Amino acid sequence: MLRRIEIVTDDITRLAVDAIVNAANESLLGGGGVDGAIHRAAGPKLLEECRALGGCPTGEARITNGYRLPARHVIHTVGPVWRGGTAGEERLLRSAYRQSLMLATSHRCETVAFPAISTGVYGYPKPQAAQAAVSEILAYLGCAELPRTVLLCAFDEATTVLYRETLKNTG
């Protein structure tokens, strides 16, 4: 079967794809981590467009231009803050992936790259987050033609290995 999920170890701001996903917060006005890196690389026009969106609830997603990024679009999504696992975190994380993919489809994106949403400042345990991400993406790709390829962008080697193992053991 054609492999539609690929793993890359990179800084997501360097990827020349149709859309990169940003792990944002509900304000959509920037922050640290991957959010800060994306805003720095895209330039001030990204913040201007985000300001006009008026925020984004947890589990939802919004799309903007990529401005100075090599990526054409940025899909901003808000993952859950980890509160121990019994506050609907998995449902919200899956929703963040699914809604991002739906935007990618409606904007005809062939390739979209995801960072490990919620696994930094928001404290979601990486193995559980990888499991939810892979299973939600596979379910979505099972009934959508676009995006053709989803890149899981790992920022470090440990996350790359984790994604590899998770992909091997899922589906």
Q: What's the min distance (Å) between Cβ of 1 and ligand AR6?
A: 27
Of the residues 12, 71, 112, 130, which one makes contact with ligand AR6 according to CB under 6 A: 12
The answer to whether 165 contacts ligand AR6 (rule: CB under 6 A) is no
d(CA 86, CA 46): 34
Judged by DSSP in three states, 134 sits in helix
Dihedral, 46, 52, 117, 124 alpha carbons, nearest 10: 130
Q: List the structure tokens of 117.
A: 């949403």
Residue 41, Cα to own-chain centre: how many angstroms? Answer: 17
Peptide bond into 147 cis (omega under 30): yes
10 is known as an active-site residue: no
If the CB atoms of residues 82 and 138 are measured against ligand AR6, the closer one turns out to be: 82
116 binds ligand AR6 (CB under 6 A): yes
With CA atoms as reference, report the closest residue to 146 among 97, 98, 101. Answer: 101
Instruction: Kindly state whether residue 147 participates in binding ligand AR6, applying the rule CB under 6 A.
Output: no
Closest approach, Cβ 135 to ligand AR6, in A, equals: 18
Evaluate whether 63 touches 101 at the Cβ level (below 8 Å): no
- Nearest Cα to 7, choosing from 167, 170, 118? 167
CB of 143 to ligand AR6, least distance (A): 26
Applying CB under 6 A, the span of 45-53, 100-108, 113-121, 139-147 interacting with ligand AR6 comes to 113-121
Site for ligand AR6 in 69-108 (CB under 6 A): 79
Residues lying near ligand AR6 in the complex (CB under 6 A) are found at 11-13, 23-25, 31-35, 37, 79, 115-122, 153, 155
